[in-house]
Structure 1
Amino acid sequence: MKKVMIVDDEIGIRENIRNSVQWEKEGFHYCGDAPDGELALPLIEEWAPDILITDIKMPFMNGLELASIIRAQKPHIKIIIMSGHDEFSYAQEAIRLGVTEYCLKPVSATELLQILHEVSQKMDEEEQRLTSLTMTKEKLLADLCGGLIGTSDAIDSAKKLSLSLSAKFYTIVIMDIRPHDDSQNSELLLNKTLRILEECGSVDVEFLSYIRSRTERVLLLKSSSENRIMAYLEQLRGQIRLDLEQQFNCSVVIGIGSHQERLQGIHVSYLEADEDKYITRLTQQNKASLREIHLDEKMNILLDRSRFLEFLKIGDPHLRDSFVQEFAAPLQSIDWNSSSYGVYLLNDLTLESFRLANQIFRMGADPDENIRSLQQMIRGITSWEACTRYLCELLDQLWQRRAASSGKYSDVIDQVKAYVSGQYNNEQVSLKSISAHVRISPSHLSKIFSQETGQTITEYLTQVRIGKAKELLKTTSNKTFEIAFKVGYNDPHYFSNIFKKTTGFTPKEYRTRGAVVPDESSVDMRKEPMYE
């Protein structure tokens, strides 16, 4: 709903315009008026109108002078010049100043409304063009990965960018590519490796990509077959990675997320890929530390890691101690005070266990925080008995996540919903503020909520806000801009856009035709971006 202000030195004209137009019904909000340009300036600062209607001939500061100042300071405001003087010189000056419309007095309410609607339409078209220009492929992919854009908006934006997002399966891959030679340009290296990835691509698997940081590229894999994606990922982690490292003298760390069937699942796959990349990098660092261990420290110790991982998946906690004693028996020969080999083995086992847990459990806390804590415990091990205690602790921590995967997050989801229910009218509510309230990191809370509810927190917040707005439209006589403020939108125009996107109706149409509004289950609430 666009805000309109009038500046005219004749009070009768101001009152006539103010009273002859049903502003709210016509989709506008009347801010107020002023008798001349000088008095209008501070009111324009305070009211922030979208459209300014001004007379030319006024005392102190005339309409052309006012228009000149507004065009310089607030070029987004559309100006309609209204004058009783049919002189070509005024029209010329108005055009030179870039006013949107020029009309002659007397102007009827019907004529003024026609002009206002034409100006409003021009503003909407400009906004759409601006949105089209600012929504690049990279921003669209980043918003999809960040869970900041709903399905319908993503499809619309992709269409404008001539991108195809349609697929049966989606998987996110994060590649961290770092040159061994500091003189190499990291951005240039990312572009060179992209060309190789495109040349090695599979005809059955397409990918879109964007640069996330100075050394990281994110790939969105799409395919009609899950098996084809898995085959490509095996090739990517194997031969393609080795070819890149050899050809460009660099290190390549790859994180891979789960396969998803819906666009909204891309966000979950992205978070998992980020976790997997972190664990993969630690694994590579751990293997590098093995090369630094003296040959006489290395021992032929065979740990059946697959057996440990199987026990982690399905083992009985009551059998934990006996299992660990038997599993760790080969480690009794290690001198924990003089050799680093045991630290390497436990680090390797820990990282493999976390990788498995990421795949089959829903991790509820930052993995880096957990891993750092466990690695600190490993460095403090000085005996075989301490080693067995550590393995018991490792199993216990990961079993907590196994228990959580069976619905333990219901309490967290309830806390999120309760917080949103109480704070939906606060424009500042965000993923960051919600995560602080429930004391879970934003990325993991976002992942948990998406997995448990099938929608992002942004989508849920929009659903609650629009639901409350519907209720107010049906049960009160509040104006649209008042309802917008009450449900957490300080910009009534933005609120009206979101309302129409999510319901198919403008607020005004919903109020008058609410009885025939589509069923709630058919409404796509995944619309509103959340900014941190």
Structure 2
Amino acid sequence: MYKVFIVEDEHLIRDSIRNEIIENSEALDLKFCGEAGDGELGLSMMMDLKPDILITDIRMPFMDGLQLAKEAKEIFPWIRIIIISGFDEFDYAKQALQLGVDDYLLKPIKSAELYTALRKSIDAFNEQNQNENHYPGNTDAIMSVMSRNNFLEALFQGQLKVDKAIERAKELGVDLVGKKYTVLLVSAKPEKEISDYHRYYDRLASVLTDDVSCIFSTMSTKYIKLLLFDANRDALLEKSYQLAHFILHELDRDGQSELGVAIGPIVNRISEIKQCFDSTNLMMKSYGVLRPDNILSCEDDLRDGELSPTNPFNKDFIVKLNESSKEDIPQLIELLSYFPEDAHPSEARNRVYRYFVLLELLSIVRKKELQVEGFDFQFLNEPESISAISNNVTQYQALLNNLLEIILNTKIDPSMARYRSVITQALKVIDENYSSPDISLNYVAEEIALSPSHFSTIFSQAMNMTFIEYITNKRITLAKKLLRETNEKLGNIAFEIGYSDPNYFSFLFKRKENMSPTEYRKQCASK
């Protein structure tokens, strides 16, 4: 089912389009997923909702529809766009066509015209699914695909010296010099038929074929592999998350419920790419074992001084450690050496478990700036070192003993037991601003110094709901309180909880509560 998002500053037109979509949802296999009154707020909401079809006006405050369409195409390569406008101007239509929109509708919009435009977008999706043919058919092109695969294999296995890696990358048309690097692995679980490799290649090639900051390969029975690089660290991290979401969206068209993407740590040197791959590979092994998340990130798990929301190790170390003393260390070592609640855990599961135990303990030590004479933690700055120790039980337990002695020798602030800084900061910002019509995912992300894609990922995985769902729940809860305890008009309540359109508020309320706000108020009054 394709998700449709509406951006239009006139609420009566939004209401009309929304009703048309809902009315035709079964016939067209569509689902209305959200709306906004301007392009800037719309784009922020789309970062969270990831729609398939965008219906947008052109002339709007803050960000016009053409700029919104351009930005949306860059962030969501799959998206189909329908422009609506009250102006029959050739220049607008020309720009819209250059952006590759599916249709350009003039107001007032007729039901039949909107239905036809939506059908056109859906047909484009279906045709794309049926005619995926990016996979090269001639010998030279096939050899190029194989060369990229062989290059990644050699680079990830540490078989290439730096100068040779640079030389071979140039032969592939990319420049690795002076960049930051990260690895993405996708557990696509192909059926080992040649058609599977072609299909996965098709989906990625539609976006990445001409991208000189990425090399990818689908020629593996285990993972789809990608190497990303950029001179700017933040840009690389943002691209990693955007690409992870794109991959999930495109491959999930096959109905694969077990899709997972692992994003590796960002490294500064070509010689460190092997370490990056090893850490990413270890993280991917935890997918479906220790964690259910679709997107896993070494960058999140290595955030200094906190247990990231995407970290699979849910046991609260601080509470346990606050209840322990040095006499409890042997018992703690035994407890933290093997995966709990499993009578016969695999050694792979135990290794991943130990890896994340070390990450959490090291984050505590670094956060508190704890030190001990004669003990140097510098060798644990590399994920490869942590991984190697996790593989050796004797070395792991010796290090665990040292870490526990250091930690238990220092009083830990009890407030750290609740320490989840990213989500805690975000929830604080939301709680202070959720009734404002201007709050958005982009605003909150900026307040906590994360990119929108990064914040959207960790928020949804930590809270088990999207940012928009969380905001809506907060607003509807407040609305119910106002409906029960005041005689305010529905329009005033809508504005007070952050909705500029009372009709949209009523629509959301009924969708969530299965009754209108008026019916809810009457029900409460009768009790």
Q: Provide TM-score, normalisation by structure 1.
A: 0.34
Larger Rg: 1
Q: Provide TM-score, normalisation by structure 2.
A: 0.34
